[in-house]
Structure formats: C-alpha cells, structure tokens
Amino acid sequence: MTKINLQDSFKEFCKNNKYEINPQQTELIETLEKFLNFKDSIFNKFLNKKEKLCFYLYGKVGVGKTMLLNFAYDRLKIKKHRQHFNEFMINFHDFKHKKKDDNTISNFVEELKKKYELIYLDEFQVTNIVDAMILGKLFEVIFNKNIKIIITTNTKLNDLYKNGLQRDQFLPFISIIEKFSIQKELIIKDDYRIKNNDKPQALFYPLNEKTSFRINQRFREFTRNKKKVRKIVSTKGRDFVIKNFYSGVARFKFADLCDKNLGAEDYINISNICDHIFIEDIPLFNNENSNQQLRFITLIDIFYEKKIKLTLSLQDKLDNLSSSNKHAEIFRRTVSRLFEMTISP
C-alpha cells in the first residue's frame, strides 16, 4: 500500500470546509495514519512491533466518528470496501444459505480476500444472537487472511452485546478484537448534528388534525406531477406492498414499517427504490413497545446509510421522544440522525 499522509490532508480538509480543528481529532488522525502505513518489516520485528489489523473507533453519537473515517477511507488507494455492519452480516448469511457446507466462513473470507485489502464497517453493533455466536470465528479467519478492518461504533468493546443471550459464547470475539486492534475513543462535548442544525426541518407534531393537514400538504407538493403506483418489494419470498409510491417518494404509517416482522434486509430493499420517505404517527417509546423501537432504530440506521431524506409526524418533538430502558443508549444515535435526515430542502 502506498504510504498515506493523512495529517496534512486533514488540516487542508478542515480549512476548506471551515471546520474547527479539535486536538483529539488531530491525535486520532495521526494514530490512524500510523495504523494504515504500518509495514511488517524486519526492523519492526526486531523491535517486537506487530501489525494491528483492526482500528476500532468508538464514541457517543454525533461526535464525528464516521466523518473522520470516511475522510481517511476516501484517500486510500487500495482495494477497499465500505459497508454498514448490518449489510455485511446479511451478505454473510446469504452466502451461507447458498453454499450450505462446513467451510462457509473460510470460503466467505476467501472471497473477501480476493476483492479487498481493507474493509470499513460502519455502525458496528451486535443485537442478534445468531451474529453473536459466529463473529469470533469469522473475524479470526479474516485476521488470519491479513485483511485490515476499520470499525465505528457507539459502544466500548467490552460492552458489546452486553446482557445478550449466551454472551459467554460471544466473548471470544472480544478477545480476538483486543488482540488485533487499536482501540480509540472520540470524545467531543457537542453532537454536531444538533449543534449545527439551524435549518427548517420536516417534522410535524403532535399527532392531531392540524399535523395531518400539514403533512398531507407537504406530500402533495412532493408528489405533484408524479404517478401513483402500487410497488411490491420482495425479500426472500416475503412480499411487502408499498401502497403510496410516487417515483422515489413513499409514504408509510409507523405501524406499516415497525409493527410487522420486518428486518434489516427488508429496509435495505425499500431504501433501494426511494429517495424521500414519509413516516407518520411515530409514537413515544417505552418498555411495552421496545421491539417496535428496535425495528425503528434499524430502519433509521439503514435509511441514513442510504442517504434517504425523511418527513415525519410524531407524538412529540425529537428532543422529547422517550425510549425503552433497553434501547435508551442506542436510541440517542437515532434521534441525532433524525435531526440531520429531516432537514427540509
């Protein structure tokens, strides 16, 4: 890999975009540069310096983790791949379903090795017991093949899958990441999405007749001169009908998307045909509707990754959206992203 100079590029990047340079960001960029430029040379072996294959960046929502790693990733002149963690695991399970043999993990990683030197996994989180059980072995083989991984997450490594079912079987993954990774926390006081958000937003609340009128009015503006069609999105034999679809603009009730047994792959397929989505009647969340809340969190993660713009009607303003106890921490990221995704054009 050609040696990369991130530090000077980052200063220029901040200057051009009129960003204030944070000392911790500068330190992090320096560490990331060393990680990407490290050579497993005779000299380094003599000094007993071993190459780290994973850069694990964690921190609270809206501190700029993804922005920093996107900046570095865009400047790499190697075979590389960026993917949301949900999509990465969907690809693995699809591969496993098609191959149906005892060497699924090895064969999957062999395919990765042919294509990529580095994989960037954004928004790493483990909520699924099936994923939790296989991640240790999967990443062990990835590192054995000398594929570099960079990760962003809101969660400290030792807190991943905390209180999850059969967590003892997930612990080997933590041990492997500890062995192969550089772990860094990005600490910045303010959520940049909220701090810098002084633009009008497509948010309508509370849920009443006036709100319905306003969101109907906005929907008519967006769909004027567009033809309504009944769109069917198929995911592994499941058909999901979009009743209100107008050439990239779709309209749903919250219950349509989050009360039904839909998952990440369904939301990905919906996002692939949309560029603006209206979601109505978003409730306050609590321990009684935590399953629906988790689907909503997954949905927003995917729509954010796919750069979908949103118009929402809610029970209350974003700042006041309550959460179940179980998902309170991760829901902060959802709220932060919604501030950005609902900026009105």
C-alpha to C-alpha distance for 299 and 335, rounded to whole angstroms: 12
What is the predicted pLDDT for the residue at 44?
Answer: 47
What is the predicted pLDDT for the residue at 308?
Answer: 97
Residues 128, 16 within the same domain = yes
Residues 35, 167 within the same domain = yes
Residues 17, 82 within the same domain = yes
Select from 185, 219, 247 the last residue of a domain.
Answer: 185
Residues 246, 164 within the same domain = no
Which residue in 214, 191, 220 sits closest to 314, CA to CA?
214
Query: Is 122 within 8 Å of 160 (Cβ atoms)?
Result: no
In a domain, 226, yes or no: yes
Beta strands 238-246; 229-235: pairing state: antiparallel
Query: Is 115 within 8 Å of 145 (Cβ atoms)?
Result: no
What is the predicted pLDDT for the residue at 192?
Answer: 58
Residues 180, 328 within the same domain = no
Chain-centroid distance of CA 117 in Å reads 21
* Type of residue at 280: E
Residues 30, 89 within the same domain = yes
Residues 167, 275 within the same domain = no
Ranges of the chain whose pLDDT falls below 50: 41-48
Beta strands in 138-237 (DSSP E): 148-153, 181-185, 203-204, 229-235
Q: Any idea what the CATH number is for the domain that residue 48 is in?
A: 3.40.50.300
What's the total number of domains in the chain? 2
Select from 132, 151, 185 the last residue of a domain.
Answer: 185
Q: Is 311 helix (H, G, I), strand (E, B) or coil?
A: strand
Q: Is 62 helix (H, G, I), strand (E, B) or coil?
A: coil
C-alpha to C-alpha distance for 45 and 175, rounded to whole angstroms: 23
In a domain, 1, yes or no: no
Residues 255, 221 within the same domain = yes
Q: Note down the domain range covering 119.
A: 6-185
Structure confidence by residue, pLDDT tens digits, 239-263? 999 999 999 999 999 999 999 999 9
Q: What per-residue string of b and e applies to 175-193 under the rule 16 or more CB within 10 Å gives b? A: ebbeebbbbbebebeebbb
Beta strands in the chain (DSSP E): 54-58, 80-84, 118-122, 148-153, 181-185, 203-204, 229-235, 238-246, 249-253, 276-282, 309-314
Query: Is 151 within 8 Å of 124 (Cβ atoms)?
Result: yes
In a domain, 39, yes or no: yes
What is the predicted pLDDT for the residue at 17?
Answer: 83
Residues 86, 155 within the same domain = yes
Which positions ≥6 away from 53 have C-beta within 8 Å? 143, 146, 147, 148, 149, 180, 181
Select from 136, 165, 185 the last residue of a domain.
Answer: 185
Q: How does DSSP classify residue 50?
A: P
What is the predicted pLDDT for the residue at 214?
Answer: 96
In a domain, 286, yes or no: yes
Residues 178, 42 within the same domain = yes
Residues above pLDDT 70, as percent of the chain = 93
What is the predicted pLDDT for the residue at 190?
Answer: 66
Residues 169, 267 within the same domain = no
Residues 243, 170 within the same domain = no
